[in-house]
Structure formats: structure tokens, C-alpha cells
Amino acid sequence: MFKNIDLFNQAFFFAPIGMSIVSLEGKWIRVNHALTKITGYTEDELLTTNFQTLTYPKDLDTDLSYTQELVEGKRDSFEMEKRYVHKSGKIVWVLLSVSIVREGNKPLFLISQIQDITDRKNSERILKQMAHYDFLTQLPNRRLFEERLNHAIESANFNKGLVAVLYLDLDGFKQINDTFGHDLGDLLLKEVASRLTGCIGNKDTVARLAGDEFTILLPETTIDNAKHVAERIIDILSNKVSVQNVVISITPSIGIAFCDDFNMDVRNLLKYADEAMYQAKQNGKNNYQVSQIR
């Protein structure tokens, strides 16, 4: 029996993942070396506190709810991804697996396994960033823009609101690229992205679709406000840009399309905004046109 206890103690302390025995109130009764590495706290420091103190505030309610269900006998174990606040202040993602030990029907304590998944979560975040954001400008890409536009249309249909899409193309950008090179052109696109972002509100989205084509989503707007945003963009972009000691003048052609129709979809709304943008180019560029949706 004592040999088995010794084996358990060694397995517990030297386990490659965090292990802990926790009181029903959340106080750490026993922790292993791996958990001290995950949290940055020494064993003595952990034993004077509880898991609630180290848990990231936004994750605490879920953790406590699951723990309460364990104590009440509604479940025998649970698993969740959560965050700890490391002693250094950084955020550590962990996969937490918790089970309860009982004597008869009486709950005694909790046994937790804690695996550091910070690297995995960071990789997931990077992949998500790559899938939804433009590499050059860090703006949302077409995929994310269309997802947000679809959500905005659904919300507008429910709330009887108005959605606007601005489709923007930079006049003469190809000539700038051909004259000064793609490196300068890329820097110019980043500057345009920054200026466009400064023209919109917190609920709005500016995206880069491709090349020098940008779109702006105004999910809760009015006709006058959408026109005002277009005018502001024209005004902001009229200020000359200095890139690599080259002073460049850039102007936009903008098309605006509105959605207050239950049958409107993402593809058609973008199509109407795109058509209005080409109408702006035909009308002399550096202006905006509103789509006359058929």
C-alpha cells in the first residue's frame, strides 16, 4: 500500500503536465512542479492562494459554474479551455480537466490536470489572422468583410435598418505602380488603409478586397451619413502622400449601395456598389455615385 502511495506521489509531482489537488472552495492543497512552471508561482505561493485568484476574470464564471455542478453531483468531471494570469502578468492558456473525489455521497476534493496550450492558441490566432485579414494592410479581407456584411444584412432585416456598402478604387494607381515600383505602391496602400480606418466608426468595417480596391461597411446608417463618409474619404485622400521621398497625389472613385430589402444578398449588394464605383470613374473620378438599385 505504501509503495503504491509512493508511486502516486512520484507520478503526481513529476508529471509533465500541471497537477493539483484542490479543496471544494478552490484552495490549492497540493501542486506539482509543472504547475509552478505554468503559473510562474512557487509551490509555497500557490498553496497560500486559490485557483480563482489566478483565473483570468472573463473565464472565472464558467469555471465556477462547472465546479459547482461537480460538487452538487450533476457531473463527475469537466474539461474547458481557460486562461491563467501568470505571475509576470502575461496570459497563459490551459486545457483544464477536473474530476471530483467522493466518500460515499460526500464530496471531498477536486483533482485537476492543467496542460499549457498557449502555443497552440497562438498558432490558431495566427491562422485566423491569415484567413481573415489582408497581409499587407492588416485590414479585414474579402472573406471577413462578406461575413460581416451578411450579418449586417440579417440584422437590418430584423431591425428594419439600413446597411450601406462603399466600394472604393484608387484612381491611377496602376500608373503609380508602374512609375515608382510595387514597393512604393505597397506603402501607399498601407497609408490609404490607415486614412480610411480613421474615417469610420467603431461599428463600421473597412476592408481591402484586392489590389487598390477597398470596401467599407456601414451596418447601422442613414443615406446622409453614408454620403458624408464618402465625402470625408475624398477629402482625406486629397491630402498628398509622401512615400520614400516621393510626393504622390491620390484620388478615389467611390460607389455606394444601400440595403433595406429583405431579398438583398451580399453578392448583389457588392455588385451594385461596384457598378456605382465605375459610374464615378466615368463621371470624372474623384467623386462618389449612389447605386440606383433595380
Q: Do 165 and 271 reside in the same domain of the chain?
A: yes
The percent of residues in the chain predicted with pLDDT above 70, rounded, is 96
Contact 110, 99 (CB under 8 A): yes
Q: How many domains does the chain have?
A: 2
Q: Would 128 be classed as within a structural domain?
A: no
Q: Do 17 and 60 reside in the same domain of the chain?
A: yes
pLDDT at 1: 45
- The domain boundary, picked from 122, 151, 176, lies at 122
User: Locate cell 501607399: which residue?
Assistant: 188
User: What average pLDDT does this structure show over 249-266?
Assistant: 88
**Residues 261, 134: Cα–Cα separation, whole Å:** 30
- The domain boundary, picked from 122, 156, 172, lies at 122
Q: Cell for 283?
A: 463621371
In the three-class reduction of DSSP (H, G, I as helix; E, B as strand; rest coil), residue 76 is classed as coil
pLDDT at 286: 94
Q: Is the dihedral of CA 44, 45, 46, 47 positive or negative?
A: positive
pLDDT at 6 over 80: no
Contact 205, 157 (CB under 8 A): no
pTM: 0.69
| Rg of the chain, C-alpha, whole Å | 28
H/E segment holding residue 231: helix 223-237
> Which residues are tagged catalytic?
212
Confidence of residue 210 (pLDDT cuts 50, 70, 90): very high
pLDDT at 15: 87
Q: Do 118 and 239 reside in the same domain of the chain?
A: no
Q: Would 99 be classed as within a structural domain?
A: yes
User: What average pLDDT does this structure show over 176-190?
Assistant: 93
Q: Do 109 and 162 reside in the same domain of the chain?
A: no
Task: Supply the CATH number for residue 22's domain.
Answer: 3.30.450.20
In the three-class reduction of DSSP (H, G, I as helix; E, B as strand; rest coil), residue 173 is classed as helix
Residue 86: which of 78, 94, 74 has the closest Cα?
Answer: 94
Q: Would 239 be classed as within a structural domain?
A: yes
DSSP one-letter string for 2-34: HHHHHHHHHHHHH-SSEEEEE-TTSBEEEE-HH
Q: Do 277 and 140 reside in the same domain of the chain?
A: yes
**Residues 71, 272: Cα–Cα separation, whole Å:** 58
User: What average pLDDT does this structure show over 106-113?
Assistant: 95
Length of the chain as a residue count: 294
pLDDT at 2: 42
Q: Do 79 and 221 reside in the same domain of the chain?
A: no
- As a dihedral over the C-alpha atoms of residue 119, residue 124, residue 127, residue 132, rounded to 10 degrees, the angle is -140
- The domain boundary, picked from 122, 152, 186, lies at 122
Q: Do 112 and 184 reside in the same domain of the chain?
A: no
Q: What's the domain range around 141? A: 133-290
